[in-house]
Amino acid sequence: MFAKLILLNLNNFLYQLKFDNIMEIECPNNAFNAYMILYKEAFESVFPNKPIWPNRKYITRKSWVTPGILVSSRTKGSLLKNKLQKPSLCNIELYI
């Protein structure tokens, strides 16, 4: 599931951690909680959260959005992109 290189990075990160303070804790529950905090920090540094964007294809549209409005919206978006990337007088006038 995960790439071998990423798992090796996690193993190396965990290998470099110091567990001396956890070994000194006498209560097993507190020691486990301290270990899990260290493990979570290591895991989150190797596997950062990435936002997942929903596929536009499966987003339901409002009933009043017609195919003509979709075409107009795409065209206006394309003209805006051209205006921002290449701000010539022609592109600005086409957008307006």
> Residue 1 pLDDT more than 60?
no
Chain segment 19-53, per-residue pLDDT in tens: 888 888 889 999 999 999 988 888 888 888 888 88
Residue scoring higher pLDDT (57 or 66): 66
Specify the pLDDT at position 75: 93
Q: What is the pLDDT of residue 76?
A: 93
Percent of the chain with pLDDT over 70: 98
Q: Is the pLDDT score of 2 beyond 70?
A: no
Angstrom distances, CA of residue 47 to CA of 11, 38, 51, 67: 12, 14, 12, 41
Distance between CA atoms of residues 76 and 93, nearest Å: 12
Q: Indicate whether 9 and 41 sit together in one domain.
A: yes
28 domain residue, yes or no:
yes
Give how many domains the chain has, as a whole number.
Answer: 2
Is 88 inside a domain boundary?
A: yes
> Range of 37's domain?
4-46
What pLDDT, on a 0 to 100 scale, did the predictor assign at position 50?
A: 81
Q: What's residue 56's pLDDT?
A: 76
Identify which of 7-11, 54-58, 80-84 has the greatest average pLDDT: 80-84
Distance of alpha carbon 26 from alpha carbon 28, whole angstroms: 6
